[in-house]
Amino acid sequence: MPRLTTRAVIGIGSFVGFLIVVWLANTSTDPSHPHKTNSKPSTSLRCHRWARSLKTGLTPYISNDKTVIITGAAGFIGSHITRYCVNRLRMTVIAVDDLSSGYEANIPVSSKVTFVRGDLKNATFVWSLFRGRKIDYVYHLAGYPSRRLSHFVRSYIYRNNLLASVNLINAAVKAGVKCFVFTSSVAVYGSSELVVSESSIPHPQDSYGIAKLSTELELRATKRVHDLEYVILRLHNVFGPNQNVVDPYRNVISIFMGQIMRDTPITVLGDGTQKMSFTYIDDIVSLVARCPLYPAARSHTFNLGSDNVIDINHVVEVVKSVMKRPNHPVKHVPAQNEGKLAGIDHSKANCFFKQTPRMEFEVGVSSMADWFRAVGAERLKRSRLAALKVETKKNIVSLWLNEDVSEVDEVDHLARLVA
């Protein structure tokens, strides 16, 4: 596939800016935004807001005759969704991944699973996934997830997280797909001192969040023009087995476990008092896999995750405990200016799906540690990442400058695994 020219990358950036403007103009009329709010709603109002939508379909469609495409199927969340769709929903799955940071071993072995390796940035490859098949749903989970690193690899993020998504949306329209499920992120909200809900106006503060929001806007525009149904799920801080334990630029819990395994200090940005909510993978898998089966959920956006808020210092202590290294050293490094949220309202997902995360944080981390010792540690031992390449090093996190970092005009792949 030919490289994008500088003019093409600038064009993508302009397109992203245009989509943000469209978002602000249409927020009040989108079905996912019944009204604007900056605070958590009272219990009596929560489900009443969506009463009309909920009446449209509470009984789910059947799933065992469906053929679906799942992108990022060899990665963390994608592998769990693939397993659930095959084993629990009896779907036929076309599992797609480029194996740049996932593992084929994560994909379940089944006569109902066909693994296809390829690059979603290549529109010809994307269309080949649909050709000759009747695809009912697309679950789009592929993409590079590092918010902090995205400031320094903007072109890479837009090509992998936006251009690839547009290729997939185009193909879904041409193939007559019934529903497109997109895993977005609470990164679209940016920073807020108030609790954010799906009707809060997004202000993404990093290229990762901008790319996610742009894909959301593309899906809404495609619904209006081509009637492609969608469900958007804004996830945050999901953790558990099958996470990438090699990449040091994402997934804080796996980073901490990896640092313990390598016998290097756990690195904490800032003083560690920043608070985050963490969601164990098993608590969201069913909802993500089943959401296109519910007519009421179509053309809606949902925040998805745990309400429990935990500070990073506590995360460190839990990880050290479950890894049986209570005295492992911790190193604090200067914090990066990043978005912080006071809280996230999940009441809409609770109303539609009657399901809330239940796994206690400590139990989930312990379960992940069991997997890490059985599988993750061996992957960490056998693999490493190639030297980090960025498009600009200006103001990059000092912690990353300790690595072998080079500045290039265009990043081919910053997270490729090396055996």
The residue ranking higher by pLDDT, 212 or 3, is 212
**Which residue in 213, 292, 249 sits closest to 401, CA to CA?**
249
Largest Cα separation within the chain, whole Å, is 58
Give domain status of residue 222, yes or no: yes
What does the pLDDT look like over 390-415, one tens digit per residue?
999 898 877 777 667 888 888 887 76
Work out how many domains the chain is built from and give that number: 1
Q: Going by C-beta distance under 8 Å and a sequence separation of 6 or more, which residues neighbour residue 246?
A: 101, 258, 379, 380, 383, 384, 385, 417
pTM > 0.85: yes or no: yes
- What is the structure's pLDDT at 170? 98
The sign of the dihedral angle between the CA atoms of 43, 45, 49, 52 is positive
Domain of residue 57, CATH code: 3.40.50.720
Give domain status of residue 385, yes or no: yes
**Which residue in 62, 60, 61, 81 sits closest to 70, CA to CA?**
81
Residue 315 phi/psi, 5-degree rounding, is: -55, -45
Q: What percent of the chain has pLDDT over 90?
A: 63
Give the confidence band of 208 by pLDDT, cuts at 50, 70, 90: very high
pLDDT > 80? residue 283: yes
pLDDT > 70? residue 34: no
Could you tell me the residue range of the domain that residue 234 belongs to? Answer: 6-418
pLDDT > 80? residue 43: no
- What is the structure's pLDDT at 184? 98
Q: Which runs of E-coded beta strand occur in 293-351?
A: 300-304, 309-311, 330-333, 341-344
Is residue 379 a contact partner of residue 347, using CB atoms and an 8 Å limit?
Answer: no
- Angle formed at CA 155 by CA 154 and CA 158, multiple of 5 degrees: 85
- What is the structure's pLDDT at 131? 96
pLDDT > 80? residue 33: no
- What is the structure's pLDDT at 162? 98
Give the confidence band of 28 by pLDDT, cuts at 50, 70, 90: very low
What does the pLDDT look like over 305-320, one tens digit per residue?
998 889 999 999 999 9
Instruction: Compute the average pLDDT of residues 334-346.
Output: 78
Is residue 176 a contact partner of residue 215, using CB atoms and an 8 Å limit?
Answer: no
Give domain status of residue 34, yes or no: yes
Separation between Cα atoms, residue 269 and residue 262, nearest integer Å: 19
Separation between Cα atoms, residue 98 and residue 298, nearest integer Å: 29
DSSP state for residue 188 in the 8-state scheme: G
Give domain status of residue 302, yes or no: yes
Give domain status of residue 1, yes or no: no
Scan for tokens 């992108």, then name that residue.
Answer: 71
